Amino acid sequence: MGGTFNPIHYGHLVTAEAARDAFQLDRVIFIPAGQPPHKTEKYVAAANHRYLMTFLAIAPNVHFEISQVEIDRNGPSYTSETLKYFYTLDPTVEWYFITGADAIVEIASWHSPDNILRYAHLIAASRPGYAFPRLKALAQEIGGGEGRHQVHQLEVPALAISSSDIRERLRNGLSIKYLVPEAVEQYINKQHLYAEGAMQRT
């Protein structure tokens, strides 16, 4: 599961569990982006904070793991390189890459998009009722025509929660209780993340 996780919230966690059920996954590996390739103009908390918040959030679930592969890699966190890394670790595994549908609709503009479906299926998570534009055509568009790997849509009601709304609430001094795990809320408060003037550019 890829994401900037800025910060991680219950929408991400429910998505991961729903994907695990729907696609009978053995485990879900959370991969916080080191340098999100498309976010050079936006404020993103430092990678070590996003990694630690993700670590705290997934700790109670034995089926969830975390990888720092994108944080350790220099340069932009290209998904094609990450998927190649996991595929190479074990090509006999049926890999799935889970992320938000709004991100996946932009996939044709990602780095090396033709490589993505070579290594994994895609699971595009969205709110219920989200009309996924060109879902069926997407695999063809990015050169996944061999048919082995597909693009799937997964509707998740909890995705009404969003990181941008949480950051906005924190900037305005509003509560984020019940939107993120308590440990994440405590970490954000302790580190003074996302308060007005507290963010850094990556």
Please pick, from the candidates 162, 169, 183, 198, the single residue that binds ligand NAP as defined by CB under 6 A.
Answer: 162
Based on CB atoms, which residue is closest to ligand NAP, 11 or 181? 11
Is the Cα torsion angle 86, 98, 16, 6 positive or negative in sign?
A: positive
Q: Which residue is nearest to ligand NAP (CB)?
A: 100
Q: Is the distance from CB of 127 to CB of 156 less than 8 angstroms?
A: yes
Please pick, from the candidates 24, 74, 164, 200, the single residue that binds ligand NAP as defined by CB under 6 A.
Answer: 164
Contact letters (x/-) for ligand NAP, 66-105, by CB under 6 A?
-----------xxxx-----------------xxx-xx--
Based on CB atoms, which residue is closest to ligand NAP, 92 or 121? 121
> 31 — phi, psi (to 5°)?
-125, 90
Which amino acid would we find at residue 159? L
List CB contacts of 91: < 8 A, sequence separation 6 or more.
none
Q: Is 141 in the site for ligand NAP (CB under 6 A)?
A: no
Mark the segment that binds ligand NAP (CB under 6 A) among 132-140, 141-149, 157-165, 173-181: 157-165
Please pick, from the candidates 10, 17, 23, 37, the single residue that binds ligand NAP as defined by CB under 6 A.
Answer: 37
Based on CB atoms, which residue is closest to ligand NAP, 102 or 183? 102
Q: Is 163 in the site for ligand NAP (CB under 6 A)?
A: yes
Sheet holding 151-155, edge to edge: 96-100, 121-126, 151-155
Q: Which residue has the tokens 């994401």?
A: 3
Q: Which of 91, 79, 151 is nearest to 115 (CA)?
A: 79
Q: Which of 126, 77, 119 is nearest to 97 (CA)?
A: 119
Q: Is the distance from CB of 137 to CB of 104 less than 8 angstroms?
A: no
Q: Is 35 in the site for ligand NAP (CB under 6 A)?
A: no
Report the DSSP pairing between strands 121-126 and 64-66: unpaired
- Least distance from ligand NAP to the Cβ atom of residue 168, Å: 11
Gap between the Cα atoms of 126 and 120, Å rounded = 19
Q: Is 33 in the site for ligand NAP (CB under 6 A)?
A: yes
Question: Which chain residues interact with ligand NAP by CB under 6 A?
Answer: 1-4, 11-12, 15, 33, 36-39, 77-80, 98-100, 102-103, 110-111, 125, 159, 162-164
